[in-house]
Amino acid sequence: GAVVSQHPSWVICKSGTSVKIECRSLDFQATTMFWYRQFPKQSLMLMATSNEGSKATYEQGVEKDKFLINHASLTLSTLTVTSAHPEDSSFYICSARDIRYEQYFGPGTRLTVT
Amino acid sequence: QKEVEQDPGPLSVPEGAIVSLNCTYSNSAFQYFMWYRQYSRKGPELLMYTYSSGNKEDGRFTAQVDKSSKYISLFIRDSQPSDSATYLCALDTGRRALTFGSGTRLQVQP
């Protein structure tokens, strides 16, 4: 199956700093990528939809100025958490959709803000 | 009412048992139906993908979709301890991101 990678897999940062998470589709092109957030023992919550070459579409309640998304190519999308706070600590997962509408997920990035 | 309802479990079964996981949904616009498996602290892994009513089989896994009842199922035959994970149903209208069920935690006892 298709492979999606995320980097880093785990990051610890201090409150007030910014963190960038990369999502790459390794063996297919993805015009659409999605960013999800998952708290312990809860399901995935969609944060935003990222389309190559255009602005991301954010879900209600998600601050676009805090969670900056860039989808610069058909294989790369980045999520930058700006001015991170402890409540931003979570598991961030990206997915990439292929031309058959199948979505493949990355392994996730665990963010801990101290 | 949530768009997708899924029993969170946990569901505990002995090794070798047949497991039945289910989701119901309310939005008839959903056209694509998926089942994902997620191990702790890992990203979801696509198990089954279907877009029509009926059954689809892949090894020990069978996905069943009944659009008239808005009901989808995943059956796991000869369950193994390695099947212990959270199983998420996911539905898609084709125009936006997936809508997930809350996930069912499965524990297969050796």
Express each pLDDT in B2-48 by its tens digit: 789 998 889 999 999 999 999 999 999 999 999 999 998 889 999 99
Buried b (16+ CB within 10 A) or exposed e, A7-33: eeeebebeeeeebebebbbeebebebb
- How far from A85 is each of A114, B34, B80, CA to CA, in Å? 8, 34, 41
Which of B4, B33, B41 to mutate: most A Cβ within 10 Å? Answer: B41
Nearest-Cα distance to chain A for B95, in Å, is 9
Question: Which of B38, B48, B106 would best serve as a mutation to test chain A binding (most A beta carbons within 10 A)?
Answer: B38
- The pLDDT of residue B9: 85
Q: Does pLDDT of A24 surpass 90?
A: yes
A56 CA: distance to closest CA in chain B (Å): 12
C-beta separation of A112 from A51 below 8 A: no
Closest chain A C-alpha to B71 CA, distance in angstroms: 19
Rounded-to-5 percentages of helix, strand, coil across chain B: 5, 55, 45
